[in-house]
Structure 1
Amino acid sequence: MTKVLIATEKPFAPVAVKGITDICKEAGFEVVLLEKYTSKAELLAAVADVHAIIIRSDIIDAEVFDAAKQLKIVVRAGAGYDNVDLTSATAHNVVVMNTPGQNANAVAELVIGMLLFGVRNRFNGTSGSELMGKRLGLLAFGATGRNVARIAQGLGMEVYAFDPFTPAEAMAQAGVKHVATQAELFAGCDIVSMHIPATPETKGSIGRALVGSMPKKAILVNTARKEIINEAELLDILKEREDLRYFTDIMPANHEEMVAALGDRYFSTPKKMGAQTSEANINAGLAAARQIVGYIKEGNERFRLNK
């Protein structure tokens, strides 16, 4: 019998666990649960005889693949997947998937929420500004970017996007203006919201040059990945440009320095929380279960990440 492990240091909501279990049991699969584990040894023991694993932000590296002798598939319930070693997965003949789009609206609503919080001066009673009429730039136009665009357009914002993997025609159909380069996006938008993955090409790519080119009183929003920011350069340019603001749900390593130097021009949530809604939690978990069933039963590799 196919055995599916739900391995989550930060557990799914109970209703999501039940939904995952129901989908797997209907397919004739057994489900085992490892929640709130505190050591890697617990994870290594749990994967020893499983055929599939559903994770959230849990680290699945070469050591885990070595320990999981029967493993066929790992599904990351969410969009980001840099917590899984794709090279090692391929070497062990394991398919890795994510669940793109399931968290997209949750992240998009957080982006807009942080922007409203920021432009209205943290709701402190003083006069702020409005989002209507502002130029919003989206760095990547995937599922999350599309949802941010949809909400922003409802607020009357002008939306632009740079994404080398999305045709300009697709952006136009969504009412979004295509921008030819990343540099043009930063230089031409009042607000830039970033939705790119952490890859060798993007890590540390957002720093002094791009942020420093932004218009007066611009805002940078990061709900993507911590690694894409050159944090030292970002702090330096924010100190020099006292009109700029930075909002994120990924606390920087130099968080205390930013708080001390920037005051209300900087805001970070206590932990990454873009996907922290009950709806996104459930959607991603159920999608992961369905993808495992589809792969094991039918060989469906639609969301495969490694080759």
Structure 2
Amino acid sequence: MKKVLVATEKPFSQVAVDEIRIIVEEAGYKLELLEKYTSEAELLDAVAHAEALIVRSDKVTSKVLEAAKDLKIVVRAGAGYDNLDLDACNEKGVVAMNTPGQNSNAVAELVFGMMIYGIRKQFSGASGTELRGKSLGIHAYGNVGYYVGKIAEGFGMKVYGYDPYVGADRMQAHGVEPLSSVEELYRTCEFVSLHIPANDITKNSINKALLSMMPQGAVLINTARKEVIAEDELLEVMEERPDFMYLSDIAPSNAQVIAEKFPDRFFFTPKKMGAQTEEANVNAGMAAARQIVSYFLTGDETHRVNR
């Protein structure tokens, strides 16, 4: 009987666990849980005989993979997968997957929650501004970007997008005006919402040169990864432009400095919470379980992220 381990320092909701169990056990596999673990040693012990592993933000390192002698597949329940050591997965012959799209709406709704909170002066009673008629730039037009665009349409915003890997026809079909360069996106849009991954190309790519191009009343919203921001240069922009606001689902390393200097021009969630909804939690967990079953039954590698 195949063993599927769900290892989550921050556990899934009980509803999600129940749904995962149904999918796994109906396939004839055994489900094991490691929740709220406090040491790597616990994880190393738990993965020893697992053939499949489901994680959330838990780090699957080369050491974990070395301990998981029987592991065939690991699925990160969520879109980002920088917590998986893909090189080590390749070395050990382990298939690594993510579950794209399952938390996209949750992240998109958070974007607008933060935007409204920011431009309405943190609900302090001071006079703010509105979204209607403003320009929104979507930097990377994937699953989250799509939902951000649809919500923005409801607010009456002018929506633009930049993604070198997505065809202009697709954006246009969704009512998003594609722009030809990242510089054009930042020059055009008062609001820019980041949805780029953190990789060798994108890390520190959101820099002073780009941010300085944004129009008066600029607002940058980051629900991606903090590594994509050149944090020292962001601080320079905020110092030079009293109209600039930064809203993020990931507190930067210099968060305390920003909070002290610009208390009314930032908002950082206490922890990364773009996917922290009941619906996203359940959707991602169920998708991970289904992908494991499909892989074992048919060899389906649709959402594989290592090659």
TM-score normalised by the shorter chain: which range applies?
A: over 0.9
For residue 217 of structure 2, what is the aligned residue in structure 1?
217
Instruction: Please give the secondary structure, in 2, of the residue aligned with 1:160.
Output: strand
C-alpha displacement of 1:149: 0.3
C-alpha displacement of 1:298: 0.8
For residue 100 of structure 2, what is the aligned residue in structure 1?
100
- TM-score, scaled relative to structure 1: 0.99
Q: Are 2:91 and 1:91 equivalent residues in the alignment?
A: yes
| Separation in 2, partners of 1:278, 1:174 | 27
For residue 61 of structure 1, what is the aligned residue in structure 2?
61
| Separation in 1, partners of 2:194, 2:68 | 35
Instruction: Please give the secondary structure, in 1, of the residue aligned with 2:44.
Output: helix
Q: Are 2:295 and 1:295 equivalent residues in the alignment?
A: yes
Instruction: Please give the secondary structure, in 2, of the residue aligned with 1:117.
Output: helix
- TM-score, scaled relative to structure 2: 0.99
Instruction: Please give the secondary structure, in 1, of the residue aligned with 2:264.
Output: helix
C-alpha displacement of 1:119: 1.2
Instruction: Please give the secondary structure, in 2, of the residue aligned with 1:305.
Output: coil
| Separation in 2, partners of 1:299, 1:142 | 26
| Separation in 1, partners of 2:120, 2:241 | 20
| Separation in 1, partners of 2:304, 2:293 | 14
C-alpha displacement of 1:207: 1.5
| Separation in 2, partners of 1:251, 1:2 | 40
Instruction: Please give the secondary structure, in 1, of the residue aligned with 2:263.
Output: helix
How many correspondences in the alignment? Answer: 307
| Separation in 2, partners of 1:166, 1:143 | 11
Instruction: Please give the secondary structure, in 2, of the residue aligned with 1:89.
Output: helix
For residue 207 of structure 2, what is the aligned residue in structure 1?
207
| Separation in 1, partners of 2:37, 2:254 | 28
| Separation in 1, partners of 2:58, 2:187 | 37
| Separation in 1, partners of 2:198, 2:2 | 33
| Separation in 1, partners of 2:45, 2:236 | 45
C-alpha displacement of 1:237: 1.1
Instruction: Please give the secondary structure, in 2, of the residue aligned with 1:47.
Output: helix
C-alpha displacement of 1:16: 0.3
What does 1:123-272 align with in structure 2 at a 5 Å threshold? 123-272=123-272
C-alpha displacement of 1:299: 0.5
Instruction: Determine what percentage of the aligned residue pairs are the same residue.
Output: 56
Instruction: Please give the secondary structure, in 1, of the residue aligned with 2:48.
Output: coil
| Separation in 1, partners of 2:223, 2:187 | 20
| Separation in 1, partners of 2:91, 2:160 | 40
Matching residue's letter, 1:206: I
Unaligned runs of 5+ in 1: none
| Separation in 1, partners of 2:303, 2:16 | 20
Question: Deviation above 6 Å: which 4+ runs of structure 1?
Answer: none
Unaligned runs of 5+ in 2: none
C-alpha displacement of 1:118: 1.1
Matching residue's letter, 1:213: M
For each residue in 1:53-96, what CA deviation from the matched residue of structure 2 results, as whole angstroms up to 9, or x when unmatched? 00000000111111111100000000000000111101111001
For each residue in 1:198-241, what CA deviation from the matched residue of structure 2 results, as whole angstroms up to 9, or x when unmatched? 01100111111111111111100000001111111111111111
What does 1:8-47 align with in structure 2 at a 5 Å threshold? 8-47=8-47
Matching residue's letter, 1:257: V
C-alpha displacement of 1:120: 1.1
Matching residue's letter, 2:90: T
For each residue in 1:132-178, what CA deviation from the matched residue of structure 2 results, as whole angstroms up to 9, or x when unmatched? 01100000000000000000001100110100111000000000000
Q: Are 2:13 and 1:5 equivalent residues in the alignment?
A: no
C-alpha displacement of 1:275: 0.4
Q: Are 2:267 and 1:284 equivalent residues in the alignment?
A: no
Instruction: Please give the secondary structure, in 1, of the residue aligned with 2:49.
Output: coil
For each residue in 1:236-281, what CA deviation from the matched residue of structure 2 results, as whole angstroms up to 9, or x when unmatched? 1111111100000101111110001111101101111100001100
| Separation in 1, partners of 2:155, 2:130 | 9
| Separation in 2, partners of 1:147, 1:35 | 31
| Separation in 1, partners of 2:86, 2:47 | 17
